[in-house]
Amino acid sequence: MKASAGGYARASSLRDALEMLAASDGSGRVLAGGQSLIAAMNLRLSAGDFLIDISRVGELAGVSETADSLRIGALTPHAEIGRNPLIRHHATLLSQAVEFIAHAAIRNRGTIGGALAHADPAAEFPACVLALGATLHVEGLNGTRDIRAEDFFQDIFETAIEDGEILTGLSVPKAGADERQVIEEVARRSGDYALAGVCLVKRTGGHRVSLFSVGPKPILAKNAMAALDRGDVEGAVEALKAEIDPPSDTQASAAYRRHLAGVLLRRAAARIEGGNA
């Protein structure tokens, strides 16, 4: 199929992009790495949008640090997330996740902002930022908003970003000295979206467990977290299975996804205890 775009313009700055978005009367669509949007357009799942290309907006790229957090620009490509020393040191969950995302060419172009804004329930980054307790930053012509990851993901492909807003980046708390972060997933082939996946963070304040590909959005498994805090891994697995309501599709049934989620949590917990995360 041939894509059918309603127009295209390259934004020179964030302000420029926001103005174009406002002027587009609802038909504007932000184009970042294009690794999800162009694929959807090529299937005519999305047609007629006016594309506002933010890929050259320098102020949206790059990683910086404050005393207790990292600030990651929305345009940071997956490949950079994977190799950036600050991220590898302070938020290793994100760099580990990159190895599971697609293939080299896609990781070079796809951006973390695009992945978060796209909010594919099977994607790794949304679940990672949920497990890390990150804050997402959006900006519109009326100003900026900070949104907790817990409140950001709302439904399949739906986020708290409002019309006229652009995701500018995210802040991730720096890992504590004894913090452990691991991601586990099962996919049919390397680079495929996961059949199910688990992120596990163990920090001084307690465990955080998030799951992907088991529901319409990434899920924070609070009962499983409480069980892990009590040191009860099997209890956490049971709680986890009760906390999710996975879909069935041609790749996997709900029952299989639920089973996998338990296996993956067990493996993640074992890795954390083994200390090799």
Partner 1 sequence: MSIQFGNPDRPNSYIGKTVPRPNARRLVQGRGVYVDDIVLPRMAHVVFVRSPFAHAKINRIDAEEAMSVKGVLRVFTGKDIAEVCTPWVAVLAHLKGLKSPPEHAIAVDRACWVGEPVAAVVATSRAAAEDGAALIDVDYEQLDPVADMMSALDPQTPVLHPDMGDNLAFERQHEQGDVEEAFRTAHKVVSARFVTGRHTGVTLEPRSILVDWNPAEEQMTAWHATQAPHMIQTVLAKHLDLPESRVRVICEDVGGSYGIKVHVYPDEVATAAIAKIMKRPMKFIADRLESFSSDIHARDHEIEAKIAVGEDGKILAMDVDDWTAIGAYSVYPRTSAIEGNQVVNLCGGPYDFANYRAKTTVVFQNKTPTCQYRAVGHPIAVAITEGLVDMAAAELGMDPVEIRRRNMFKDDAYPVTSPANMRFEGLSHHASLDKLLELMDYEALRSEQAELRKKGIHRGIGIASFIELTNPSPFMYGIGGARISAQDGCTVRMDPDGSVVALSGVTEQGQGTEAMLSQVVAEGLGVSPARVRIITGDTQVTPYGGGTWASRGAGIGGEAALQAARALRDSILEVAAAMLQADQTKLDIRDGAIVDAASGEARMPLEELGRIVYFRGDTLPKGLPRELVQTRHYITSDYPFAFTNGVQASYLEVDTQTGIVRLLKHWCVEDCGRVINPLLVDEQIRGGIVQGLGGALFEEIHYDADGQLLNGSMADYLVPMAAEMPDMIIGHVETPTQESLLGAKGAGEAGTAGSPAAVMNAINDALRPMGAQVTEMPFTPERILRALGSLKD
Alpha-helical regions (H) of the chain: 14-23, 37-42, 78-83, 85-90, 92-98, 104-109, 112-118, 124-132, 149-152, 222-229, 233-243, 254-274
Does residue 252 touch ligand FAD according to CB under 6 A? no
| Window 170-229: residues binding partner 1 (CB under 8 A) | 186, 188-193, 195
Phi, psi (5° rounding) for residue 125?
Answer: -60, -45
| Window 121-140: residues binding ligand FAD (CB under 6 A) | 123-125
DSSP letter assigned to residue 188: S
Does residue 11 touch ligand FAD according to CB under 6 A? no
Burial class (CB in 10 A: 0-12, 13-18, 19+), 66: exposed
Does residue 28 touch ligand FAD according to CB under 6 A? no
Residue 276 interacts with which of ligand FAD, partner 1, none, CB < 5 to 8 Å by class? none
Contacting partner 1 (CB under 8 A), which of 59, 86, 160, 256? 256
Burial class (CB in 10 A: 0-12, 13-18, 19+), 178: exposed
Does residue 23 touch partner 1 according to CB under 8 A? no
Does residue 250 touch partner 1 according to CB under 8 A? yes
Does residue 31 touch ligand FAD according to CB under 6 A? yes
d(CA 173, CA 90): 8
For the record, the structure tokens of 236 come out as: 């956490």
Kindly state the smallest distance separating residue 168's Cβ from ligand FAD, in Å.
Answer: 7
Does residue 157 touch partner 1 according to CB under 8 A? no
| Window 67-86: residues binding partner 1 (CB under 8 A) | none
Q: Please list, in sequence order, all residues whose beta carbon lies within 8 angstroms of the beta carbon of residue 147, skipping any fewer than 6 positions away.
A: 135, 136, 137, 138, 160
d(CA 101, CA 97): 7
Nearer to ligand FAD, 55 or 92 (CB): 55
d(CA 270, CA 3): 46
Residue 154 interacts with which of ligand FAD, partner 1, none, CB < 5 to 8 Å by class? none
For the record, the structure tokens of 173 come out as: 């708390």
Kindly state the smallest distance separating residue 275's Cβ from ligand FAD, in Å.
Answer: 27
Give the interface segment with ligand FAD, choosing from 104-112, 147-155, 237-245, 261-269 (CB under 6 A).
104-112
Kindly state the smallest distance separating residue 212's Cβ from ligand FAD, in Å.
Answer: 8
Does residue 93 touch ligand FAD according to CB under 6 A? no
Does residue 238 touch partner 1 according to CB under 8 A? no
| Window 44-63: residues binding partner 1 (CB under 8 A) | 44
* Cα atoms found within 13 Å of the Cα of residue 128, Cβ hemisphere only: 28
Contact 83, 74 (CB under 8 A): no
d(CA 132, CA 201): 7
Q: Which residues bind ligand FAD (CB under 6 A)?
A: 29-37, 39, 74, 101-102, 106, 110-111, 113-115, 117-118, 120, 123-125, 161, 166-167, 191, 193
Give the interface with partner 1 as residue ranges (CB under 8 A).
1-2, 4, 43-44, 186, 188-193, 195, 250-253, 255-256, 259-260, 263
